[in-house]
Structure 1
Amino acid sequence: MKKRILMLLTVALAGSGLANAQADCAREAALAYDQAKAKNYDAALPALQKIRETCPKYSMATYQYLERALEAKIDKAPEGQKEQYVEDLIEVWEQRLELYPEKTQKGKIYADIAQLKYDNKLGDEEELYEAYDKAWNEDKESFTSPKGLYAYFDLVVNMQDAGERSLQDVFDQYDKVFGKIEQEENDAAEALAPLLKKQEEGEELTAKEKKQIKYSEINLNNYSKVKAALNAKLGARADCDNLIPLYKKDFEAKKTDVSWLRNANARLSAKDCTEDPLFVQVSEALHKLEPSAKSAFSLGQLAEANGDGAKALQYYNEAAELETNKSDKARIYYRIAGNYKDKGSYGQARSFYRKALDAKPSLGSAYLQIASMYAKSANSCGTDTFTKRAVYWLAADYASRAARVDPSIASNANQAASSYRGLAPQKSDIFQSSYNAGQTISIGCWIGESVRVPNL
């Protein structure tokens, strides 16, 4: 009986101790979190570190506030005094990943760790590359940082300059990173498109939708800048003068190697290195061994260069049907659309520009081309002077959309939109017409769309 009472007392005391410990964690965490919320990081940091040590699983908020506090410390610390804070932050991220794996994206955490090391020059280029490579291999989907993706490519280029990587390694890395950026651009533009349409039609947006537009446009702008930086970094390495000798010296040995032919064909095609006989050899050899979207597209380029438009379109359509990569499919449809536009077949051209946009919603140049065709058709697609000029409003809407989904062409697109609005009816024209602001005008001929009279 005494043993039983003793055991019950032991359990009770243990439970009481656990409850007291939890109460202590809650009390100390509340104070530390308040300090962190107030950005009083000097006071918050030691308290947060203590909670992490004594109550590691109390709350994920501990790690979130520690991240903010340590980042603030790193920003303010003079050179030579940052390393300890950097190491502490890496430990915080790794512990968070260990304790809260279901609430933590591995790719993002590993990319953040790599970026922290990169920014603070911790490790040589090979070590830094391996840190980014870990993020890519562990969880590519959540490795979305524009800055991190650029660094991931930059390191390979630097190593190639130092003789530690081949030119082909640089091309392979470029394709990998560029493809990821295009995927992220497409996702952002796809989310943005219905909201822009809703906004253009004058519908009220919720606060959440406005925020979504803002963040989508910020992401599109950042990715656009990174793409430009990647191309600048790649520079002359990808010129035809470098590519052709690189592939020509290996062609005879590799002409039955489908993988090699595929890579060579894609690179030569992307840079329009179509005038050298090597391009013909590579394209025909690849299409013979493995008829594919890439080889069909290359043969279309050859036919187009030789002035055979019909044969070019035949190959381009074959390429579009075979292609599974959305960005590449958009590129093919855009090329087909351009052929029809050059012939004056605007309806056909628009159909393929829209197919390109379905595949790649961030392809702002397709919207800009549609805008251009609408503007050129203004005199043919209205019933009177006012409705003819109203076509320019529609052209301006498409040009503005081009600027918003593709910041890399925003300047030209916004200039085009402004020019089209200058050609459209002005406030005095609306006042003198039978139309009112908000009224819809149906536009005939091949355009077959409607446009709202703006409230000027």
Structure 2
Amino acid sequence: MLIAGSSAVFAQQEPPNGMGELQAYAVFMDAYKGDDYDMAINFGAWMIEAKPEKIEGHDGFDLLRQFDRMVKVYKGAAENESDPTSKSEYMKKAVDVFDQAFETFSEDEMDQFEWKLKLGRFYHENNSALNVGTSQIAEKYEEAYEEDPERFANASDGYFAGFLLDRYASQGQRDKAFAMIDEIESYATPDLQNKITSARESLFDGPEERIEFYESQLADAGDSEKEQLLTDLVNLYEETSEGDKAADAAIQLYELNSTYANTRKVASIYLDDGEYEAAIEFLEESFEKAENDADKKEISLELAETHQQLEEFRQARQYARQAIDIDSNYGEAYMRVAAIYAASISECTGGQALEREDRTVYWLVVDYLNKAKEADPSLASNANNRAESYSSAMPTSEDKFFKGWEAGDNFRINGEVRECYAWIDEATTVK
């Protein structure tokens, strides 16, 4: 009995067939590289059991690497099996290799995060053969996440973090989901950030509930988290028509981080609320922070429109011209100049009947409508409709005869027409 027992122990600790360790390792590697899984299992199982720290004659031996190879060997053997039971047995042996690896190697000897994530992926990719569900896959990923949240969030562009977060959200595990979001959001990839946004959406019954939750998080939030919370709150307040709260949150966001986007948001809110003077201040700051001409020309046009609303026509034209200087084919800017000049007529007449001289300004208005559709043909219909509506306000044939104005003659809109048009000082032609 003693001899038999000793032989059993000896068989587990020594290579198969009486081979030396170096020879057995060489046979294993040949079988591994040649996808001879039966042979690889026979010789590889010895290394997993005996756990030799080194093999004489092979300086590059790495025991942990053999554990990794044996996982692949058992998986390969399973894939070659047609019998479901045998396939499942091989997969379970692969999982056993993971378990033994965690028991064998210390944290200094083994990257615990890498192996825990690898085990989660193994469960995920082979869930059918292992007969495991989503909850068991999530548990394995959760172990990797707890080991190193930042590496987990960045792994595979946030795929695994997104999977785990979706699992929490779908199961209504709000505390876990929000705790995870707090942990990983600051270093989430763009794809993962989209998944975070989607998870947030699914965790609330409506915008009011989201607002209540985000408001409760503000006091204890760090700057980066607070910025995201305020961004979300601004959008939610606008969605629920709480304009005052949206403005307050936008200002807080701007004071926290006065980026182009945050500055632009404040300007937009003031514009929507009709607070034009406040809007101008933030639009001008937005223009200075804009990094491309597309944004700059749009801001210039908004400044033109805003000054026009305040009946500051000279400044309005200045910004419309600024937009044209940035993009000479910006048809909307020409349309805006036409609107500014048309509005100036009403201001000059004070709502009284138009004199012959006032009517001449419409020649210039039509000039700019024509420029608009030349610059941007998509505006042709709009420009033509406006020009037609102004045609009845232009000087009549009688007016032109009385004043000696001949069609095609040069004509200047300036202080000689009427003092309040002096600032225009621009040439047109008699029409």
Which range, TM-score by smaller chain? 0.3 to 0.5
Bigger radius of gyration: 2
TM-score by length of 2: 0.40
Of structures 1 and 2, the one scoring higher in RCO (CA 8 A, sep 6+) is: 1
